[in-house]
Amino acid sequence: MCGRLTLTHPNDALARLFDAAPANDLPEPPNYNLCPTQDVSVVVSDGARRALRPMRWGFIPHWYKTPTGGPLLINARAETIAEKPAFRAAVRARRCLIPAAGFYEWTKGADDARLPWYFSRPDGAPLVFAGIWQIWDKGEDPLATCAIVTTGASDWMAETHHREPVVLAEADWPTWLGEADAKAAPLMKPAPEGLYQRWRVDPAVNSNRAHGPELITPLAA
C-alpha cells in the first residue's frame, strides 16, 4: 500500500530530471501530505518526447459512470496487474513515472493506534514510482487519472508494511515508458537494499487536513 506522498521538488527541476516538457497546471510544491484524489505530477511519453503533466491520483476504469462509481484505485498490484480488467490495458500501453520526495506508511501501536513512518531517499533525490494511467471521459471534461504499482515488500520494508511501491532506477525509465524495446514486467520488484531511509513522525499526518514540513520531522524518542 502507498497511500500518502510528499512532493517537494520544484516542477522545473523535475522537468529537467526527466527531460520532459512541463504542463502549465502542475501541482505546486511543496506538499507534505499529498492524498488520494489530489493531483500528482506524472511523466508520460509518446516514444519521441516526454511530458510532465498533472493527473488525479486514483485510477478510474472506463466503466465507472462517475469518479466515485467504484473503489478508489490508488495502487495496482504487480502480481495481478496484467490480468485485472481495470489495469491490463493500461499496463500494456499507458505506463508512466510518478515522482515523489517520499511517502508514509503506518504500523499499529497500543490500542490499534496508527503510527506513521516516513520513507525517503538518503540522498534527497526523488523516488520515481512505476505508474499506470487512464483517461476517464464520462464527465463533462476528460479526467486523467493514475495509480502507483506496488509489489510484495522486501524483508526490510516488511518490518513496517507487507507491500511497497515499485521504484524505478533511471536506467529503467525508458523501458517502463515504452521507449525501449524491452519487457517491463521484470522491473516490478522490491527496492534494492539501502534505497530508503525511514523514521517515525507525528500522528498529525493521519489527518488529510494536516500540512507543513513539520509532518516529516523525526519524532523525538
3-state secondary structure 46-86: CCCCEEEEEEEECECCCCCCCCCCCCCECEEECCCCCCCCC
Q: What is the pLDDT of residues 182-205, one digit of tens each?
A: 999 999 999 999 999 999 999 999
pLDDT at 140: 84
72-92: pLDDT as tens digits? 999 999 999 999 999 999 999
Q: Which amino acid is at 25?
A: D
Output the pLDDT for position 109.
84
Alpha-carbon distance of 53 to 174, in angstroms, equals 17
Please report how many Cα atoms fall inside a 13 Å half-sphere around the Cα of residue 82, on the Cβ side. 7
pLDDT tens per residue across span 107-161: 988 888 899 999 999 999 999 999 999 999 998 899 999 999 999 999 999 999 9
What are the residue numbers of the active site? 2, 105
Sign for the CA dihedral angle at 138, 26, 100, 220 comes to negative
Verdict on whether the full-model pTM lies above 0.85:
yes
Tracing cell 517515525 back to the chain, one arrives at 200
> Which residues 6+ apart lie within 8 Å of 69 measured at CB?
60
Question: What integer pLDDT is reported at residue 1 of this predicted model?
Answer: 60
Q: How far is CA 144 from CA 60, 191, 217, in A?
A: 9, 27, 33
The per-residue pLDDT for range 33-68, each reduced to its tens digit, is: 999 999 999 999 998 999 999 999 999 999 999 999
Dump pLDDT digits (tens) for 206-221: 999 999 999 999 997 6
Which pLDDT value is given to residue 220? 78
The pLDDT value given to residue 221:
63
- Are the beta carbons of 116 and 201 closer than 8 angstroms? yes
Q: State the pairing for strand pair 20-22/50-57.
A: parallel
Domains along the chain with CATH numbers: 5-216 (3.90.1680.10)
Q: What are the cell numbers at 72?
A: 478508489
Does the structure show a pLDDT above 80 at 2?
no
